[in-house]
Structure 1
Amino acid sequence: MKKLKQVLLVCLLLFLTGHVFAQQVRFNKVLENKLNNFGIIFSITQDRQGYIWFTSVQKGLHRYDGKKITTFSHNNDDPNSLASNVALSVSADSSGYIWVGLGLTGLDRFDPATNKFTHFRHDPKDPSSLGNDSISAIITDRAGNTWLGTARGLDMYDNKTGRFIHYTINDKIKYANFQNDNFGINTIYEDKKGILWIGWGNQYSGKKEDPGGLIRFDKATGKVTGYKHDPADANSLADNNVNAIYEDSKNNFWVGTNGDGLHLMDRATGKFTQYKYDAAHPEKLSRPPLAAIMENNFISFITEDIYGRLWIGSNGSGMNMYDPAAKKTTHFGTVANDKTNRFAKDTLNGFTGDAAMRAFPSKDGLLWIADFSGNMYNINFSSIAVPYFRVNKTPRQFLFG
């Protein structure tokens, strides 16, 4: 009887703490873009020192040290400054360098020790130069290699030679030579086995049959596999415009596309299970609400917090937090063109936008989120006095916010 009471008590505590947690998620606005100092935030990362770096499409590169923000911008009189303020992507490597992908002026590498930028540009006369000067995505893989998504394909920077290696994807997938600048690489992701996954297409397109899709690239063998929308196959992608890729702590592999495109992929079979938004049951796992017809409403990110909750962002409907233990979805933010006013501004939790553009889980357990208006938030889960078990054991470096 005593053991039974203990079990019942534990179950009750888990239920109550789960309920309290959902109610107490609080967005701390670290950066408020009242004066348009930062523009639209396109990418977020963290360096080995624990600093948060982010890029904005109008205002360059920024570093947040937990107290203040330092901005690195283009200076016509300084050749060692950022090449352009149109900064689209950022990644920090294990050597301490910060890599910045620019919209039209190539790739920059920032050395925090010298505060200087090194510029890499495409040279038509040099086949080992950067493949294209528009860099939309950057990641540094587990081996320390820097991978770049350009307007013309996939590049890797060779640290040993200082040259770029170009990877041509076969003609069947029609990937290497984009003929329309609206179609390009939206995201690059490395899974736990070291496989690269590339999402491409036109995220602002409302046509699911447009060029695009998901590409699996085995770096060890060079094998390439493509996945696309097939109207005749219910287990294919719902849309060819792939914007978000994420492998969670339980090895589930998630893919987000335009429209109602939250997918769980079985990597062994190449089949996709689509989790559709159900207005009658908003508590179910899905992308954020589709309350109005938006041709370019896409899933902007998929990530996971330190408690195993899945976060799904969108560019027009706020974001969802799905708790797999409680099998419940909580929505944050507003919904664009929601004439019924079913989704009012969430003043209680602090996130009031309709576009949750980027998310980044930092090493100290915070979840960083940027909206379309240039505001930056973080969620400090450890400030919530609720006992929870962490998904991972990553040690904290220091606490922001």
Structure 2
Amino acid sequence: MKKTSKMIYLIVLLSLNFSCFEQKATEKEKNNSELVSTSKTDTLKFTSGIRTIFQDTKGNYWLGSHNEGVSYYDGKTFEYYTTNEGLSNNQIRSIQEDKNGKIWFGTAKGVSVYDKEMFIKYPTNTKNPKYEWNETEGDLWFNAGERDGINRFDGINMNYLIVPKPENQERDDAYGVTDISEANGDKVWIATYGALFNYDGKMVTIFDHEKLKLKENEFLHIRSVLADSKGRVWIGNNGIGVLLMEGNSIINFSEKHHLIHPTSTRRGDKSQPGTLEHIFAIEEDSEGNIWFGDRDTGAWKYDGKTMTNYTIDKNLKSQMIWTIYKDNTNNLLFGMAEGGVYKFNRKSFDKIF
């Protein structure tokens, strides 16, 4: 080989090597970013249950499943995203949109954000937890799996904040976040299995077994929380029904309305018809009615005076409701454990997805 040819060969080889190195460096900088490739269908194919529903500012719907990832509906077709496309996990527990139009997903294992047809992962940073919540900022909150803390995004970093556990905690109490409800102002209500927490921008207040005035045979297993437009806080438990905090008053709302069966163990046992003991979802509609989604007995509406029980679909084997969501045009949507989304038409329910 001539010297000129050898020189050209070396230049090309060095160029290729540098190109590969640069590509690897860029991929490393993306920090677990993955380009998205999707599949499409004309009807929703999820069967594992709809755990969360969200409509973005453009009117598109995002449906989070129990273990099949996310579906995006633009009014014509459903597109699907899973861990294969870059999601942190296929169990979707929350969906929200930031001020820049990015869509955020709280999963069972970390947070993912969808931006410009790409997913970026934010794993829970348990190695660097923060105990002083005031040292962080941001209005995007996410569960942190089954751990004893919550994730808060400040615009750059995902911060893992440790919840201050009650001093009289039981050994088997767990403080994994199950639901989050933001009230007027800076207040955030955080439901965990073993206690309810309130953060007002300055301090964290704990509402445990004692502060919620529970009986000795009543155990907290909180699955949902709602701070409504009237300043009331509704707490949905898996076993002891609904608790209502109104001012300094705390009552067992289910018990007051005779919706706990006399033979109930107030644990996770299957409930009798006509009871409200296992509440996994709470929402307020545009008229101020409070809706509850029960694991065993379907939907309940409270209009301020009376309670009304609804069967979503008699053909479903399970009436369990994972989520209740009020969309941009005030439609009330119900995500079911068997899959599918139903809309309340003021009298009954129509399956829309």
The TM-score with structure 2 as length reference comes to 0.70
Q: CA deviation at 1:41?
A: 1.6
Q: CA deviation at 1:307?
A: 2.1
Q: Name 1:265's counterpart in structure 2.
A: 245
Q: Which runs of 5+ in 2 are unaligned?
A: 1-41, 132-136, 269-276
Residue among 87, 90, 107 paired with 1:102: 107
Corresponding residue SS for 1:276? helix
**How many equivalent pairs are there?**
295
Q: CA deviation at 1:50?
A: 2.1
Residue among 125, 141, 144 paired with 1:147: 141
Q: CA deviation at 1:40?
A: 1.9
Q: Name 1:136's counterpart in structure 2.
A: none
Does the CA contact (< 8 Å) of 2:221 and 2:237 recur in 1?
yes
Query: Mapping of 1:309-328 within 5 angstroms?
Result: 309-324=289-304, 327-328=305-306
Q: CA deviation at 1:361?
A: 0.6
| Greater relative CO (CA pairs within 8 A, separation 6+) | 1
- 1:115-150 Cα deviation digits (max 9, x unpaired): 11011224666x38x99xxxxxxxxxxx96211221
CA distance in 1, matches of 2:43, 2:252: 35
Amino-acid identity (%)? 23
Does the CA contact (< 8 Å) of 1:229 and 1:236 recur in 2?
no
Does the CA contact (< 8 Å) of 1:277 and 1:290 recur in 2?
no
Name the CA shift for 1:291/1:72 in 2 (closer, same or farther; >3 Å): farther
Residue among 81, 89, 92 paired with 2:86: 81
CA distance in 2, matches of 1:87, 1:333: 25
- 1:50-104 Cα deviation digits (max 9, x unpaired): 22212112210112233432211232xxxx6324323333222221111112223
The TM-score with structure 1 as length reference comes to 0.63
Q: Which runs of 5+ in 1 are unaligned?
A: 1-30, 132-142, 202-211, 279-283, 335-345, 385-399
Q: CA deviation at 1:329?
A: 2.1
Q: Name 2:67's counterpart in structure 1.
A: 58
Does the CA contact (< 8 Å) of 2:52 and 2:63 recur in 1?
yes
Name the CA shift for 1:48/1:287 in 2 (closer, same or farther; >3 Å): farther
Corresponding residue SS for 2:83? coil
CA distance in 2, matches of 1:69, 1:232: 43
Corresponding residue SS for 1:364? coil
Corresponding residue SS for 2:87? coil
Q: CA deviation at 1:238?
A: 5.3
CA distance in 1, matches of 2:212, 2:330: 42
Amino acid at match of 1:216: N
- 1:323-349 Cα deviation digits (max 9, x unpaired): 22xx33221128xxxxxxxxxxx65xx
CA distance in 2, matches of 1:234, 1:50: 43
Q: Name 1:197's counterpart in structure 2.
A: 189
CA distance in 1, matches of 2:298, 2:167: 32
Q: Name 1:304's counterpart in structure 2.
A: 284
- 1:260-304 Cα deviation digits (max 9, x unpaired): 32122034x3x41222357xxxxx5x7697997673252111212
- 1:359 partnered with 2:324: yes
Residue among 75, 87, 96 paired with 1:91: 96
